[in-house]
Structures are given as C-alpha cells and as structure tokens.
Amino acid sequence: MSKDADLGSFNLEANADGHKLSTHDYNVTTLRSYFLQNGFNYSNYQGLGYGLVLYPAFKKLYGADTDKLAKELELNSEFYNTNPNFLPFITSLHLAMADEGADYDDIRGIKMALMGPLAGIGDSLSQFCIAPLFSTIFASLAMSGIAAAPLLFLVAMNGVLISIKFAVAAQGRKLGTAIVDKLSSKLSIISETASMIGVTVITGLVATYVKMNVGITFSAGAAAEGVKQSTVNIQSMLDGIAPSLLPVLYTALMYWLIKKKGWDTYKLVILTVILGIVLSVCGVLV
C-alpha cells in the first residue's frame, strides 16, 4: 500500500447505526467545498475539485480497497460545474447515498441533474445578489474613510456563505438517506429519471457554454451604382440552419473521438487548443 494513501489512521469500522460516515465526515466535506475550484480548467471545470472535496470521506468509505478508491476518484473527476456554496447539498447527498450502498451509476444521474439548477440558483444568489449588496455597502464605507471596511466586507460575505454551505449540507444528507432508504425498490427508476434530466441539462449546457462563432462576412453580387452592397454573414447562415450548430457539431466530434477512437483528454485538449488558435488566426473563428 503506497504511503501516500495513509489509510491506516482511519477507523474503518461501521458506526452503531450501520453507517461508515459520521457527522464529522460530512462537516469536513462541507468545509472542503472551498477546494472545489482548486483544479479548475476549461476541459472539465470543477471535475477534479469534486473528487478532491470528497477525498477524505471516500478514504473512509472504501478504506483498504485502493482499487475501489482509485476508481471512484477517477469517476468523480468528470466534468462538473456548480456553485461552491450549494455544492455541500450535492456532496452530502452523494455521501449519504454511497454510504447506503448505492452505485455510482445511480448517483451520477442525480449529481448531473442537480449541478445546473444549483449553479443557477447559487450564482444568482451569491454573485449577483449578496456580493454586489455587501460590495456597495462596504465600498461606500471605505470611501468615507472607514479603514476596517474591506475586512468587514470579507467577514460579512464569508459569514453568509458558510451558513449557506452548512444549511444545504444538512438538507442533502437527509435527502440522500431518504432516497435510498424509503425508495430503494424504485432506486433504478429514480436514477433513470435523474439521468434523463441530467442528459437534458448537459446538452443544454453544450449549446450555451461552448462558444464558437464564425467571423467571416463577404459581399454578395457585384456592386452596382447607387445600390447598397449586400453582405453575407456566415454565422447568421449557420444560425438559420440551427442555432449553436458549431458547438453541437464540435462536441459531437469530441464524442466520436472518445467513443470510437478512444482518444484521451490530453489529446483532445491539444487538438482543441491548436484548432482554436489556428482558426482564430485565420479569422474563421472569433
């Protein structure tokens, strides 16, 4: 066993109620939501962060089974994007379900279905409501010369956000246990339902998050005296065929490369970066 894993210090026995995870583990995971964006990148966004947040709890759950631990971490490194303050809802739910023995396939659907809506709610609340509010208040105080204003800003912001984190974490844990306990017979249907929502959200995100715009316009027809030259804009043409056509096609290309050609992320990233730079230099994409 590699010494990096440091698994010996964890109590691997189940608690009195048959669960391996205690409230302490949930709290640690909730606090670790601060690390969600530690590995942020344009390819899988908060994916690696998600695995990082759950790392200690996973160690406790899967203990000596390093193969299972590695597999779970790998699975949980896939694309993720949500608001870090509402993440504890999802992670508590995830842990509660995993502790009850649910499979990752069941959890994944719910995880994916929740990330979009919680991102929407969370960002609106923290970035566009709470942050501007405190920002205006304390910036004005600073203008009046109150030296402590910036520090008070930090205290206020973080106080509110940490309360949100713990509040939603508790809800997530309750829900997670309920889903597996009371609805175990219907679990496969629930996870199917969640996967349906998840797939809907993900393709919706493809159309909104992947940005590809063609910047080519050229004039059509010969210029006649006194007649305004008409221009053809390729992006408008594409939009007429189908909006966000290029993002969908490009994602489909990535999908094909992954499924049929077995490309790994590294190759895909290099390809995308080179394509992006080349097409931008040629003026095709802006």
Partner 1 sequence: MEISLIQALLIGIWTAFCYSGMLFGIYTNRALVLSFGVGVILGDVPTALSCGAIAELAFMGFGVGAGGTVPPNPIGPGIIGTLMAITMSDVTPETALSLSIPFAVAIQFLQTFIYTLTSGNQELATNALKERKFGKWRLFSNFTVILFAAVGFLLGFLGASSMTLLSQLVALVPQWLLKGLSVAGGMLPGIGFAMILSVMLEKKYIPFALLGYIAAAYLKMPVIGVALVGCVFAIKHYNDATEDREPSNLAVELPADESAEAGREDWI
Report the site for partner 1 in 41-60 (rule: CB under 8 A): 41-45, 47-49, 51-52, 55
- The smaller minimum CB distance to partner 1, of residues 19 and 157, is found at 157
- The smaller minimum CB distance to partner 1, of residues 19 and 27, is found at 27
15 near partner 1 (CB under 8 A):
no
Please state, as a whole number, how many other Cβ atoms lie within 10 Å of the Cβ of residue 50. 29
Site for partner 1 in 225-254 (CB under 8 A): 242-244, 247-248, 250-252, 254
With CB under 8 A as the contact rule, the residue among 14, 15, 40, 129 that binds partner 1 is 40
129 near partner 1 (CB under 8 A):
no
With CB under 8 A as the contact rule, the residue among 11, 15, 158, 231 that binds partner 1 is 158
Contact 265, 259 (CB under 8 A): no
93 near partner 1 (CB under 8 A):
no
With CB under 8 A as the contact rule, the residue among 61, 90, 190, 214 that binds partner 1 is 190
With CB under 8 A as the contact rule, the residue among 167, 206, 216, 238 that binds partner 1 is 206
Q: Which two tokens stand for residue 34?
A: 């601060």
CA distances from 183 to 162, 178, 188 (A): 31, 7, 9
157 near partner 1 (CB under 8 A):
yes
8 near partner 1 (CB under 8 A):
no
Q: Judged by CB under 8 A, how many residues of this single chain contact partner 1?
A: 120
CB of 20 to partner 1, least distance (A): 19
191 by Cβ neighbours in 10 Å (0-12 / 13-18 / 19+) ranks as buried
154 near partner 1 (CB under 8 A):
yes
68 near partner 1 (CB under 8 A):
no
Q: Which two tokens stand for residue 3?
A: 């010494």
88 near partner 1 (CB under 8 A):
no
- The CB-based long-range contact list for 20-26 (8 Å cut-off, 24+ gap) reads 20/60, 20/61, 20/99, 21/57, 21/60, 21/61, 21/95, 21/96, 21/99, 25/56, 25/57, 25/60, 25/95, 26/57, 26/92, 26/95, 26/169, 26/173
CB of 91 to partner 1, least distance (A): 14
- The smaller minimum CB distance to partner 1, of residues 8 and 243, is found at 243
CB of 149 to partner 1, least distance (A): 7
